[in-house]
């Protein structure tokens, strides 16, 4: 049996959402325009209102209120998001992830140095992990 075509549960939705958010942060500009910063703030601010896991949305709303998104660069946004994800990890009894720059880029942008994630995808960004530029 496969659950591939079933609606996502909380964990699957969470994994997909974190993948979207961390990857978007990894490719966010180093020097975002005011418009790009506004779009990112709006994207993050929409989650407490719309995310279809009520208690996740409520807690994320509190997390954003306590630590407003830092959208001034991809480095600061990626770190901010890593810290918020770690708050959820700790709440769920999981290990915290390293928010070191190298660890974040290896996980969400470049892949590990040993090349184990490299692919022949119609490459985009040099390392070829994301499908379109
Ligand atoms: P995930 O936590 O989904 O992480 C996916 C991958 O991201 C990991 O395998 C790891 O490689 C990487 N990663 C882990 N931590 C970090 C980090 N700090 N920075 C960068 N990369 C990292 N579930 C609940 O049960 N209760 C909640 O209240 C809840 N709130 C949520 C709020 C939000 C905004 C989101 C997006 C999800 C929430 N979830 C919640 C879902 C939960 O966070 C997990 O996604 C889910 O439990 C599946 O966990 P996982 O162990 O597969 O890995």
pTM as predicted: 0.93
Is the model's pLDDT at 16 over the cut of 60?
Answer: yes
C-alpha closest to that of 16 among 1, 2, 4, 30: 4
Which residue's alpha carbon is nearest to atom 30 within ligand 1?
A: 56
C-alpha closest to that of 70 among 56, 58, 81, 85: 81
Q: Kindly give the distance from the C-alpha atom of residue 48 to the centroid of ligand 1, in angstroms, as a whole number.
A: 16
CATH of domain 10-110: 1.20.120.310
Token couple for 127: 């390392």
Q: What angle do CA 35, 129, 95 make, to 5 degrees?
A: 85
Q: Kindly give the distance from the C-alpha atom of residue 13 to the centroid of ligand 1, in angstroms, as a whole number.
A: 9
81 exposed, middle or buried (CB, 10 Å; 0-12, 13-18, 19+)? buried
Domain borders along the chain are: 10-110
ipTM: 0.99
| 48-76 pLDDT, tens digit each | 999 999 999 999 999 999 999 999 999 99
| Helices 74-91 + 54-66 axis angle, to 10 | 130
């Amino acid at each position: 049996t496969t659950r591939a075509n079933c609606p996502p549960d909380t964990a699957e939705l969470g994994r997909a959402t974190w993948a979207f958010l961390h990857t978007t942060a990894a490719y966010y500009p180093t020097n975002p325009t005011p418009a790009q910063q506004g779009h990112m703030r709006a994207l993050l601010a929409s989650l407490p209102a719309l995310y279809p896991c009520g208690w996740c949305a409520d807690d994320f709303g509190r997390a954003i209120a306590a630590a407003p998104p830092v959208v001034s660069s991809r480095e600061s946004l990626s770190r901010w998001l890593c810290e918020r994800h770690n708050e959820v990890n700790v709440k769920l009894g999981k290990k915290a992830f390293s928010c070191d720059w190298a660890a974040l880029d290896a996980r969400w942008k470049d892949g590990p140095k040993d090349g184990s994630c490299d692919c022949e995808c119609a490459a985009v960004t040099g390392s070829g992990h994301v499908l379109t530029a």
